[in-house]
Amino acid sequence: MTTLITGGTGFLGRHLIDQLIARGQTDLRVLTRRHNAELEALGVEQMEGSLTDADDLARAVEGVSHVYHLAGLVERDRTQAHRMYELHVEASRKLFDALVASDTPVQKIVVASTSGTVGVSSDADFVATDASPYAEHTVRDWPYYLSKIYAERVCLEYLQRHDLPIVLMRPTLLLGPGDWRESSTGDVILFMKNKVPGVLPGGISVVDVRDTAEAFITAMERAEPGATYLLGAGNMTLASFFEHLADITGQRSPRLPVPGKLAKLGGKLLDALQDAGAPLGDIDPASLEMARYFWYIDSSRAERELDFSPRPVSLTLRDTVQWIREHHPDFAGQRRPRPEPPANWVPQETRDFARELRRRSGAES
């Protein structure tokens, strides 16, 4: 039987395919808008078509028993709301309709959602679990997260009305090597370009794309339909996040604090300038507003049921920075030597790795 993957050429999709092939899986089919030479070299079946075309979807699901539905548009621009709704909501509905009509019974559908459907709050003490309610009111002005909430509701509808065996995966910010489209690593790149003007008051949660891909595969193997899984490697303030990057890159972390009220006002001002056609460069009004909030989550359920054990954040950030330096056109071939650290200095990633070893040792004893 065949495994269908949507979004197979994206950041998460490519890691997922690599891991599936490494496990010996050969029955992979990718629905793609255009032919991909890398997938061809891997021997992956490609079917050119669109998620919004019912005929293309009918061909794509023929003989399919398992589905990884990863296709999405990571976009913070509010003017692109219609595109996100069409892809995340309407295209998911059309895919599920095609699966319902298919002659081949589907055994499992693993869907890529986001932790931002539940895991965002103005309260620094709030940590979302998979039982938390949708953060619909909080994200009402951010079309990406709002469309993902609507997409999750579509999944639940088809689970209940058509008995489709859907599992929802909710990763936090994906980092790691291989983000050719800068869909997730844009903020790291801005830091490396010294274009982060100050420290905003919010908090962030991140996870390695490689650990996320592994969790998706495990969910396909053992998760029960209807389950949801938050995936994160650690919650931290934005100040701590930039300090980690400073340790790794040798660059200075931003020091100037930006009050939350000023960030909110700044976001509205930038929106007004954008509506007026003013060039904003690298400044993103939606990102400025989102940085006032805390995107903290608890991955305990994934740890229990999927054996989810992500690598420390500092190791993910190290690999992210190294990949950007080697492949991003603004950095490739321009690596600067790091200043020599103090003699008693211990890298953050070493401390995190030692802490992780102690944690695992305690769990095994």
User: Which domains are delineated in the chain?
Assistant: 2-177+205-233 (3.40.50.720)
| 154 and 92 Cβ atoms separated by less than 8 Å | yes
Q: What is the pLDDT along the chain (365 residues), one digit of tens a residue?
A: 899 999 999 999 999 999 999 999 999 999 999 999 999 999 999 999 999 999 999 999 999 999 999 999 988 778 889 999 999 999 999 999 999 999 999 999 999 999 999 999 999 999 999 999 999 999 999 999 999 999 999 999 999 999 999 999 999 999 999 999 888 898 899 899 988 867 778 999 999 999 999 999 999 999 999 999 999 999 999 999 999 999 999 998 876 555 544 444 444 444 443 444 433 345 567 777 888 899 999 999 999 999 999 999 999 999 999 999 999 998 876 545 444 444 455 555 566 666 666 666 665 54
Residue type, 263: A
SS3 136: coil
R_g (Cα) of the chain, nearest Å? 21
- 220-223 — which CB contacts under 8 Å span 24+ positions? 220/66, 220/68, 220/108, 220/110, 220/167, 222/305, 222/306, 223/108, 223/110, 223/167, 223/305, 223/306
| 207 and 119 Cβ atoms separated by less than 8 Å | no
Q: Do the bridges between strand 166-171 and strand 228-231 make them parallel or antiparallel, or are there none, so unpaired?
A: parallel
Query: 65 exposed, middle or buried (CB, 10 Å; 0-12, 13-18, 19+)?
Result: middle
pTM: 0.85
What is the tally of helices (H) and strands (E) in the chain? 14, 10
